Amino acid sequence: MSVYNAKIAGLSGQKDLLSSLNGSVTLVVNVASKCGLTPQYTALTALHEQYSAQGFSVLGVPCNQFGAQEPGSASEIETFCSTNYGVTFPMSEKIEVNGAGRHELYNTLTIAADAEGHSGDIRWNFEKFLISRDGKVVCRFNPTVAPDAPEVVSAIKAQLGK
């Protein structure tokens, strides 16, 4: 199944955010505003801006399941991201990524394993999934891997070259 078939609303109320990304290379990241990893927004924004003209997008997915580090409303999250980090990439509605309420998008994503062999539940904020243009999960990166780490950038470039 293509990841782009999952239905998820945008933070600003768009009904089907993923369909607008279909055909792009997308880095899906569960995000939070009050996390020690929140400064990754800077590198995520830079990646989005650097490669968007080539058909790449970051998709931020707010989640409050880890230490209640994303407690804000949609407008509070949007204001925080734009004011503090100049976020220009699309953001989805706030969802659950683990447990009985896990969003269908993450049912598909969590099947993939990262370089350490971890699959299944999301471990923390800022876990990253690289999605190919045809909606397949190409890579999974643990939360502490920086968005601009060489392995992430090379995987993005490889997908953009296809």
Catalytic residues: 35
SS3 158: helix
Say what the pLDDT of residue 162 is: 72
Contact 105, 28 (CB under 8 A): yes
Q: What is the CATH number of domain 3-160?
A: 3.40.30.10
Say what the pLDDT of residue 46 is: 97
pLDDT by position in tens, the chain (length 162): 799 999 999 998 888 999 999 999 999 999 999 999 999 999 999 999 999 999 999 999 999 999 999 999 999 999 999 999 999 999 999 999 999 999 999 999 999 999 999 999 999 999 999 999 999 999 999 999 999 999 999 999 999 997
Per-residue burial over 49-61, b = 16 or more CB atoms within 10 Å of its CB, e = otherwise: eebeeeebbbbbb
pTM equals 0.97
Contact 18, 1 (CB under 8 A): no
Say what the pLDDT of residue 1 is: 75
d(CA 136, CA 18): 13
